Amino acid sequence: MQTKDRFSTDELKLTSIGKFGLVRKARKNVPSHYHSGIDITRPHPNYLNEPVYPIAQGVVISKRDDGPYAQLIMEHEYHGRRFWTLYEHLAGITVDVNGAVSPETPIGRFMNRDELNRYGRQFDHLHFEVLRIRPMPLRPGPATPARFYSSYSLICFSRGELEKYFFDPLEFLEGK
């Protein structure tokens, strides 16, 4: 994102229900669960091309680009330790599976006004997760031929499950 210092968490603003570990209410077809990431608000009122960058060098292992839940999952290694990141509610995805990424190159963008009008204003943020363990393998479908993995986000029904699968993204970023 375009902030004064993209490598600092000081300027990140979260949505009102976007903190890690909050209990999310049940809704149609989604049980109550712990929020497994953070929901980052758009840093500027740019509704045309507000870019999103990965937090570290890595490789794209899964891509979903079929609407408001479009997402990328990446695998990274830092000081010999492997971790995975997920970026969801992306638009204009510019990378493909097996492609290398770096913090200097945009991977997509926040949704623009037309997309938000089509899908809903509730998607005017970036959902970001840091996974401790490899995401769940999926069999790609016709609508999502490059979606090879899924997060554990909707199966975290206890604090223990949340901490088994995920790092608190803000703590993780501040520590790195």
Bridge-partner residues for 38, per DSSP? 128
**Per the domain annotation, does 18 fall within a domain?**
no
Here the CATH number for the domain that contains residue 128 is: 2.70.70.10
pLDDT, tens digit, 9 for 90 and up, residues 57-75: 999 999 999 999 999 999 9
Q: For the chain, how many structural domains are there in total? A: 1
Residue 131, pLDDT above cutoff 50: yes
pLDDT, tens digit, 9 for 90 and up, residues 19-52: 999 999 888 888 899 999 999 999 988 899 999 9
Cβ atoms < 10 Å from Cβ of 173: 18
**Per the domain annotation, does 78 fall within a domain?**
yes
- pTM, two decimals, is 0.93
